[in-house]
Amino acid sequence: MSEFLQHLVNGVSVGTIYALIALGYTMVYGVLKLINFAHGDVYMVGAFAAFYIANALGVGDSPTLGKTLLVFTGSMAVCAGLGYAIERLAYRPLRERPRLTSLITAIGVSFLLEYGFQLAPFESITSMEFPPGPTPRFFPELFPRTVWLQIGEVAISNIDVLSLLVAIALMIGLEFIVYRTKFGTAMRAVSFDPQTAALMGIPVDRVISITFALGSALAAAAAVLVAISRPRIDPLMGMMPGLKAFVAAVFGGIGNVPGAMVGGIVLGLAEEFVAGYGVSSFRDAIAFAILIAVLLIRPQGLFGRQSVEKV
């Protein structure tokens, strides 16, 4: 029983991270019909941005709440800027071209971030150690880990609770933005039909830019949450979570905001339970098996709309 509970706790905590990343995929796909392959790497950049900010603030020596908040918002701001820049420079010029062109560009951007960050630091140019190089770095502790709740052998730490709460708060915030604000209405209109939306006076370009920034900020938040509980960060850390979060988004119905959240949690639980009770070395294959099954059985995902191809 306690083993089951432990897997449940782990699954939910991994799942919320997948969900936060999946939201970025789903929103971008919603407005642009593009799989933003580089999204997982924006997540990685988020972790490194937080790392540099935390070190600059000297969080390791004297952690305070204010600094923690600063690390969070700083990293989210950096990634929002990065997301905006990627969209502006790489995707916008290709918007009228075949979708495959944008996909290949997205793969290019993804590899550029992954391998660019693995280069040795240009110390002669900047005093900062940037790019970080291929060796993993250790994220400083923002606050000490304490056990919050002990049920039998299952320990739930303050970090688990905090990351769950932050993730839920961000999702509620996003839900509010998408369904209750003027911008959200514009975003849904663009997602439904960009041309008509433009005719109705919606600034489509700006909506797409903000969507990118929003999704990237969520990825950064996910990255900081992960870095707090598992402090090892490296330039390839976004590869697998990125792909898995994409699977979560497809599972929930790509383009669907609540679907991405459910998909993330389901994927986290599935991975944790199969790895816990079955063969742990197959962990990385589970997500892809789920993806293939979903696309074959219900390609529109759990909550997606069936789309009909018109000539």
Partner 1 sequence: MRLVRALLPFAVGLPALWAIQAAAPPQLAIILVTAGVNVILAVSLNMVNGFTGQFSLGHAGFMAVGAYTAAKITLAMGEAPANWSPWLWNNGAFTLALLGGMLTAALAGLAVGIPSLRLRGDYLAIVTLGFNEIIRVFIENMRWLGGATGISGLPPYTSVVWVGLGALATVVVARRIVGSTHGRALLSVREDEVAAEAMGVDTVACKVHAFVLSAAFAGLGGGLLVHYILLVTPKSFTFVKSIEVVVMVVLGGMGSISGATLAALVLTFALELMRGLDQYRMVMYSLLLVVLMLSRPTGIFGTKEIWELLGPKRKKAAA
Question: Which residues form the interface with partner 1 (CB under 8 A)?
Answer: 34-35, 90, 93-94, 97-105, 107-112, 114-116, 118-120, 243, 246-247, 250, 279, 281-282, 284-285, 287-289, 291-292, 295-296, 299, 309, 311
Residue closer to partner 1, measured from CB, 27 or 174: 27
- DSSP β-bridge partners for residue 150: 155
Residue closer to partner 1, measured from CB, 3 or 284: 284
- Residue 116 Cβ vs partner 1, minimum distance, rounded to whole Å: 6
- Residue 215 Cβ vs partner 1, minimum distance, rounded to whole Å: 17
Residue closer to partner 1, measured from CB, 4 or 282: 282
- Residue 40 Cβ vs partner 1, minimum distance, rounded to whole Å: 12
Task: Write out the two tokens for 296.
Answer: 């074959």
Burial letters 7-26, b for 16+ CB under 10 A, else e? bebbbbbbbbbbbbbbbbbb
What is the C-alpha separation between 263 and 265, in angstroms, rounded? 6
- Residue 147 Cβ vs partner 1, minimum distance, rounded to whole Å: 34
- Residue 41 Cβ vs partner 1, minimum distance, rounded to whole Å: 11
- Residue 281 Cβ vs partner 1, minimum distance, rounded to whole Å: 5
In a 3-state reduction of DSSP, which class is residue 296?
helix
Angle formed by the axes of helices 204-229 and 39-57, nearest 10°: 60
> Are the beta carbons of 25 and 36 closer than 8 angstroms?
yes
> Are the beta carbons of 79 and 112 closer than 8 angstroms?
no
What is the C-alpha separation between 222 and 266, in angstroms, rounded? 17
Residue closer to partner 1, measured from CB, 35 or 159: 35
Instruction: Provide the pairing of β-strand 232-233 with 154-157.
Output: unpaired
Residue closer to partner 1, measured from CB, 66 or 98: 98
Return the C-alpha torsion angle 248, 69, 126, 235, nearest 10.
-20
Give yes or no for a cis peptide into 231 (omega within 30° of 0). no
- Residue 269 Cβ vs partner 1, minimum distance, rounded to whole Å: 19
What is the C-alpha separation between 76 and 17, in angstroms, rounded? 15
- DSSP β-bridge partners for residue 154: 151
Task: Write out the two tokens for 170.
Answer: 């961000």
- Residue 288 Cβ vs partner 1, minimum distance, rounded to whole Å: 3
Residue closer to partner 1, measured from CB, 148 or 288: 288
Residue closer to partner 1, measured from CB, 63 or 301: 301
What is the largest distance, in Å, between two alpha-carbon atoms of the chain? 63
Residue closer to partner 1, measured from CB, 120 or 149: 120
In a 3-state reduction of DSSP, which class is residue 302?
coil
